[in-house]
Amino acid sequence: MPPFSAPVPEDEPPEPPKGRRPYSSPDDPPPAEPPRRPRRLANRPDKLVASGPPRPRPSGGADGPPERDRPTTPYRMPLPVPVPVAPAAEAPERPADATPVADQSGTGTSAGQSGTGTTGEEPGAGTSGDGAGAEPGGAEPGVRRVGRPPAGRPTRPDLLVASGPPRPAGAGGRHHRGPAPAALRRASPTRGRRSPAAPVAIVLALALVIAGGVLVWRWTDPGNPGLRLAAGTGRSGDDLFTVPSAGDGSNQKLNDMASAGRVVVAVGSDTTIPTPRPLFLFSPDSGRTWQLGQVTGATTSTVQRVVGGDGLWLASGGDGLGGELGLWTSGDGFSWSAVRQGGLTAFRNGDVIADIARTRSGFVAVGRTTLQDGSAGPAAWQSADGRSWQRVDTRELGARELKAVAARGDTVVAVAQPAQGEGSRAVRSADGGRTWQATGFQLLEATPRTGSLAAAGERFVLVPFRKRTPEGDVRVYCSPTGAEWSHCGSIRGLPGESPGVDSVVTHAGGIVAISQANLGTYTVLSSADGRTWTKRADLGDLSGATLRGFTVTEAGTLFAGGDRAAADVDNQLVLMSAPRGGDPSQVRLADVEGLSRIARQTTRLAAHDGRYVAVGTASGDAGIWTSLNWQNWTSMSLGGPHQQILDDVAHGRRGWLAVGGTQTAVGVTEPLLVSSADGRAWKPVAASGDLSRRQDHPYLDARLVAAGPKGYVLAGEERDQAGVARAALWFTSDLRRFTRSRKLPQGGSGVRVHDVAATPGGYVAVGGTSAGDEEGGVVWTSEDGLNWKARERVTPSDSSGAVLRQVVAHQDRIVAIGAARSQGSRRVFSAVSEDGGATWRTSWLPADRAAAVYDLAAAGQGLVAVGWHGTSGDGDSAAWLSRDGTTWDRTDLTEDRLAGPGMQWLAAVTVAGSEVVALGRSTTYSADHLILWTSTLSAGR
């Protein structure tokens, strides 16, 4: 599930590019310690070990404390033998005035015009930084430094050494996240006769270092120097990757509400791409003020129902199809925790929770399950605290599905769909949902639905959903225990255009019923016991809105929550308030901190001839961003109705091509292609001929592109009206005529292509296929981009299945990255082929916790893969380096927004020469930010 970030401070100083850290000045103040015996300078800075005291200043001055404002990523040290470690001062903070050279950018125009997106960029403007403050005598000339710095410091202290032989899975790649003590950065072993105290000093020093968590063991093979990756610089991309738009592209809904005392809770979903989240709104003062709740734990993004009171709250959700299910608990309605998997063992694949209720002894949930013959059956669960659940026997209830539930004390009643016939059937429990019994009551006129059942005073009340008599009334049924039911009253006076009652809600004073009078108007009726009903209020002026959740506070104020389509790409929340005897009004939610989000995503990044091009989506429109120096970006929007996204971009012999999809109508998606000769002016490519969608297939996209000497290969997906998907591939040599491949293995059925690449012999496509829960890594190869041949499935020997996600051609080999299930968990692996994809060798990427790789780039020196490493919902950005695709080394990126609370990850990477540029994200439940990260890649000496 998606993952969550900390807000980005607005008052941070400017940052130097690419992590080029100026070296310390000789004028640094000395540490407070007295000087010790002189040290012998090391002439092998790459073999420095952790020892040695700090140096006094060459020219006297006042002592001063070391600077500790900015933590520094610790270095990885080859440490074959332990040596004493002496304390020393921290390295000085990077100066804030090391600002990058600005790009002269213009403004882009719509891609619907031929000459869009021109800027004032100058050709050849590369990445540069002035490095002000690096040395007293002047600015640092560039990223490379020749010779040995004064006082025996490493020549490149900003480099993290990425090298070493293969190591067992789960054992490599870790390093300390805190500041690196100066003892680890300044080290020079001394020689001479060892004193008797030396062994004691060694043991004590190692104990202190290890206890502090700062010692990182790295073994370096002299025959395999590996790659070096600079610590790099991360900066916010929020203001860089935007496009002009009339909306935000957000998609938020409220599905249910509940109140207890002065606390009011509204729940729903926020599926704004690309980081969906479950939505909880909280009011501590009967709805006068609202704030975003706090949520921990990863689970589904949709909350459907909420109940609570007496210091214990429960919410349930899922997709309603049995694919995903979620439960959350809270003690106050504000702080929510997702129920862990250990508490969900009572739920099976295919289970759906339709409704929940609060009982005297805990909670009860009802819904449906999938039986062995594939048909639907009733399901019920019971819990004392909402965190641990038990499955209840429902086999003798004579029902297909339990749709609604209400409780009075530990007496629980549910409305079910009968196993035979139509209408509604009532079932009941007298012990808080631990055991259930069928009743003889079956109401043919009532369709079972969530929200049609309530408990009011001393009785249960059932109001059929949207069912009116020929006279226009709505019949109401009551029961004191749920066993015997009778017609007890009628709701009259509804407008003629109203279909009936949509929902009933229990509150301290009785029960309310909500009826949708017409589009944009709702009528609220109230009753003390379900027998007599009076009109309470009309909720009007809601054109285009749908209300789904309702509650009444102890003060008698009715709240109604839902959503409304604000634009073709926006779906915004609606919250209405109707005090007793007062006029209804809409609650302003724009001021709720952390609630609003802009749909924005950078999906892919490419570089050619000094120009960077990023593609994605922003505010619902497809976006293109270009730059000559990665610091300043020019944005271009394609415009047009409905949601758009560009998923991939590549440069070939005819220029640039970006591909994606656009919603031409509700539920209809077609390919979206734009091209450019120079990366500055972009124009749409008509989706005609083989690019056009078939009328009986509502979905067709082109989400991948690769460019080779012969031309461009595109890959995407096609779906029929039943949702059955198959792979689709095209080839073009001139960006004008696109030919769809008619020769795919098995016609492309059941295969999803995740990446394509050009190879010396043609093209390669990788992906996965699904058969139940088993996946296999799919490899297709083609010499001409049209005729494809399936190769042997790629699966590590000690795994149960695999899927390949990324592929590149590197030197004389093909390298792919994928994920496989091994020993009950998902692990990342690489696969290398030296014969054009016919055979493969696999190896695990170093990761001692959960990890994912989202992009892979090849350079002359080697390969760079980016993603995250940590735990689901709390991972940090990571990079993996390799010279050959087989032996990998991991670097955890812990500075400059790349690590912290929530989830941080890098999703797109490209390497231009030695320059590494990556795009990613930092997100928590209440904040969401884009990241631009730059670094330098070099081969070890």
CA torsion sign, 268 to 270 to 276 to 279?
Answer: negative
Q: Model confidence at 69, in pLDDT bands (50, 70, 90)?
A: very low
Q: In angstroms, rounded to a whole number, what is the distance separating the alpha carbons of residues 250 and 880?
A: 33
pLDDT one-digit tens code per residue, 483-494: 999 999 999 989
Q: Model confidence at 770, in pLDDT bands (50, 70, 90)?
A: low
Q: Give CA torsion, residues 424, 429, 435, 440, to 10 deg.
A: -40
Q: In angstroms, rounded to a whole number, what is the distance separating the alpha carbons of residues 522 and 536?
A: 11
Is the model's pLDDT at 372 over the cut of 50? yes
Is the model's pLDDT at 150 over the cut of 60? no
**Cβ-contact 685, 111 below 8 angstroms:** no
The average pLDDT across 266-288 equals 95
Strands 888-892 and 874-882 come out as antiparallel
Is the model's pLDDT at 480 over the cut of 50? yes
pLDDT value, residue 19: 35
The average pLDDT across 5-32 equals 36
Is the model's pLDDT at 278 over the cut of 50? yes
Query: How many angstroms separate the first and last alpha carbons of the chain?
Result: 42
The average pLDDT across 711-729 equals 95
274 preceded by a cis bond (ω within 30 of 0): yes
Q: In angstroms, rounded to a whole number, what is the distance separating the alpha carbons of residues 72 and 711?
A: 46
Is the model's pLDDT at 46 over the cut of 80? no
Point out the least confidently predicted range of 58-72, 301-315, 701-715, 779-793. Answer: 58-72
Which residue, among 614, 663, 644, has the nearest Cα to 117 in the 3D structure?
Answer: 614
Q: In angstroms, rounded to a whole number, what is the distance separating the alpha carbons of residues 210 and 198?
A: 18
Phi, psi of 691 (to 5 degrees): -85, -10
- Portion of the chain with pLDDT greater than 90, in percent: 60
Q: In angstroms, rounded to a whole number, what is the distance separating the alpha carbons of residues 612 and 596?
A: 30
pLDDT value, residue 4: 39
Fill in the DSSP letter of residue 749. Answer: B
Q: In angstroms, rounded to a whole number, what is the distance separating the alpha carbons of residues 251 and 401?
A: 30
Point out the least confidently predicted range of 208-212, 441-445, 790-794. Answer: 208-212
Q: In angstroms, rounded to a whole number, what is the distance separating the alpha carbons of residues 110 and 555?
A: 53
Collect all residues with Cβ–Cβ distance below 8 Å to 686 and sequence separation of at least 6: none
pLDDT value, residue 653: 94
Domains of the chain: 600-861 (2.120.10.10)
Which residue, among 292, 430, 322, 411, has the nearest Cα to 358 in the 3D structure?
Answer: 411
Helix count and strand count (H, E) for the chain: 2, 61
Q: In angstroms, rounded to a whole number, what is the distance separating the alpha carbons of residues 933 and 916?
A: 8
pTM higher than 0.85, yes or no? no
pLDDT value, residue 872: 83
Which residue, among 153, 155, 154, 152, has the nearest Cα to 143 in the 3D structure?
Answer: 155
Q: What is the CA radius of gyration of the chain?
A: 32
**Tokens at residue 540, please?**
């009007």
Collect all residues with Cβ–Cβ distance below 8 Å to 452 and sequence separation of at least 6: 403, 404, 415, 424, 446, 462, 463, 464, 465, 501, 503, 504
Is the model's pLDDT at 171 over the cut of 70? no
The average pLDDT across 334-342 equals 94
**Cβ-contact 780, 789 below 8 angstroms:** yes
Strands (E), 159-318: 159-162, 217-218, 227-230, 233-236, 252-260, 263-270, 277-283, 291-292, 294-296, 303-309, 312-318
Point out the least confidently predicted range of 127-131, 294-298, 586-590. Answer: 127-131
639 vs 878, higher pLDDT: 878
Strands 291-292 and 294-296 come out as unpaired
**Cβ-contact 585, 577 below 8 angstroms:** yes
Which residue, among 270, 306, 293, 288, has the nearest Cα to 549 in the 3D structure?
Answer: 306
Element (H, E) at 338: strand 335-338
Is the model's pLDDT at 38 over the cut of 60? no
Is the model's pLDDT at 307 over the cut of 50? yes
Q: In angstroms, rounded to a whole number, what is the distance separating the alpha carbons of residues 569 and 195?
A: 75
Q: Model confidence at 417, in pLDDT bands (50, 70, 90)?
A: very high
pLDDT value, residue 367: 97
Q: Model confidence at 242, in pLDDT bands (50, 70, 90)?
A: confident
Top mean pLDDT of 115-119, 242-246, 525-529 is at 525-529
The average pLDDT across 4-10 equals 36
Is the model's pLDDT at 296 over the cut of 50? yes
Strands (E), 772-896: 774-782, 789-790, 802-810, 813-822, 825-833, 841-844, 850-858, 863-871, 874-882, 888-892
Cross-strand bridge partners of residue 329: 314, 337
Collect all residues with Cβ–Cβ distance below 8 Å to 225 and sequence separation of at least 6: 163, 939, 940, 941
pLDDT one-digit tens code per residue, 199-241: 433 333 333 333 333 222 333 333 345 788 888 899 999 999 9
CA torsion sign, 434 to 439 to 441 to 444?
Answer: positive
**Cβ-contact 872, 195 below 8 angstroms:** no
pLDDT one-digit tens code per residue, 816-874: 999 999 988 899 999 999 999 999 999 999 999 999 999 999 998 899 999 999 998 88
pLDDT one-digit tens code per residue, 569-614: 788 999 999 998 889 999 999 999 999 988 899 999 999 999 999 9
pLDDT value, residue 416: 95
| Chain mean position to CA 615 | 18
Q: In angstroms, rounded to a whole number, what is the distance separating the alpha carbons of residues 857 and 229?
A: 14
Which residue, among 770, 691, 768, has the nearest Cα to 731 in the 3D structure?
Answer: 691
Q: In angstroms, rounded to a whole number, what is the distance separating the alpha carbons of residues 590 and 848?
A: 42
- Mean pLDDT for the chain overall: 79
